Amino acid sequence: MGYFLVRRLFWALFLFLVATLVTYLIFFVIPGDPVPIAAGSGATATPQFLAHVRHVLHLDLPLYQQYWLFVWNMIRHASLGYSFRNGTSVRWIVGQDAPVTASLVFGGAVLWLAVSIPIGILSALRPRSLLDRAAMGFVLVGVSAPAVWIGLILAYVFGFKLGWTPIAGYCNFFPSHEVGGCSGPGPWAYHLILPWVTFMFLFAALYVRLIRASVLETMSEDYVRTARAKGAPGRQMLAHHVLRNSLLPVVTILGMDLGLALGGAVFTESVFNLHGLGSELVTAAQNNDLPLVVGIVVFATIAVIVFNLVVDVAYAWLDPRIRLE
């Protein structure tokens, strides 16, 4: 297991270097002179200010030194750059917005797994039944409907018409003593119910189909038929032989989907007025705030690499054959 973990750590480091190199080339090399964009003031900036920006971004150095300082500042100082338009560090802006997006993505992941796993298992145990056909109808709706449409329908019905949930806004998870502030686990979950349900509709549909197919395939394996022939109880056979192996693909797909959800969160955030990384990225792109765009892209890339590293380790822990290959 130790050798497997070391290999995965080196692979994650290699992916980080490749991803940051491609990002740096796209944003700082291909555009030609990125200094006016990074300055945030375009042609109105003075030559002295543009020279200052060029020096801060190390664009007056050779290309290999530029990239090395770009990576070194991230590794040693956890620096994602400085937003000249906002007048603050990118790390501070990301630190303010990341909890919102993380609450949306991870809360939605817990909800869609809690819904899709039992539905997918029951649908596989009773193929072509009424439950199975209803689950496939749910899959069709979830795959076909866009996130913006689902979010608007939920906000109109449950937030506006029925008044059961808030339509927009975000509360901090940790309690705060600010006057008029919204904080605490209860208000935090209450304001995120509709965004989580929106994510649930999008991803649970795919997971129901995946789990159903995986359970059906596992139940046809020789070791499952052998356990059934030996008289193993149904629940024991399902828990120890079927689910342990059929849910392995779900672990793999979950790591990739969490990364995709970070990018797709912009649509859900825009519907429910959540000021997370997605909406911040759109605003930064509209304002030509190059350092902020690069910082958010690099942060999301690191998050995806970390998610996949955790998934690889979890997969090897669940299936010992993986770490022996």
CATH of the domain at 203: 1.10.3720.10
| 310 in a structural domain | yes
**Residue 110 clears pLDDT 50, i.e. is over it:** yes
In the chain, the largest separation of any two C-alpha atoms, in whole Å, equals 83
| 84 in a structural domain | no
| 33 in a structural domain | no
Tokens representing residue 204 in the block = 């649970």
**Residue 190 clears pLDDT 70, i.e. is over it:** yes
Provide mean pLDDT across the span 159-175.
78
**Residue 69 clears pLDDT 80, i.e. is over it:** yes
Provide mean pLDDT across the span 268-287.
82
**Residue 186 clears pLDDT 50, i.e. is over it:** yes
The confidence band for 179, taking pLDDT boundaries of 50, 70 and 90, is: very low
**Residue 312 clears pLDDT 80, i.e. is over it:** no
| 107 in a structural domain | yes
| 171 in a structural domain | yes
Domain extent, residue 307, equals: 91-324
What is the rounded (10 degree) CA torsion for 311, 312, 317, 320? Answer: 140
Structural domain count, the chain: 1
- State residue 55's pLDDT score: 79
- State residue 155's pLDDT score: 85
Measured CA to CA, the distance from residue 161 to residue 293 in angstroms comes to 38
Provide mean pLDDT across the span 206-232.
77
| 226 in a structural domain | yes
CA proximity to 108, closest of 296, 234, 305, 262? 262
Provide mean pLDDT across the span 217-227.
75
| 54 in a structural domain | no
Q: What 8-state DSSP symbol labels residue 273?
A: T
User: Alpha helix locations (H) across the chain?
Assistant: 2-24, 35-39, 47-56, 63-77, 90-125, 130-144, 147-154, 185-191, 193-219, 222-229, 234-237, 244-246, 248-271, 277-286, 290-318, 320-324
Answer whether 295's CB lies under 8 Å from 91's CB.
yes
- State residue 320's pLDDT score: 64
Helix (H, G, I), strand (E, B) or coil at 81: coil
- Which residues are CB-contacts of 58 (< 8 A; sequence separation ≥ 6)? 65, 66, 69, 70
Measured CA to CA, the distance from residue 296 to residue 285 in angstroms comes to 11
Between CA 244 and CA 253, with CA 250 as vertex, the angle to 5 degrees is 150
Looking at per-residue pLDDT, the higher value among 212 and 131 belongs to: 212
Q: What is the pTM of this model?
A: 0.78
Helix (H, G, I), strand (E, B) or coil at 136: helix
Range of lowest pLDDT (104-108, 139-143, 266-270) = 139-143
| 139 in a structural domain | yes
The confidence band for 279, taking pLDDT boundaries of 50, 70 and 90, is: confident
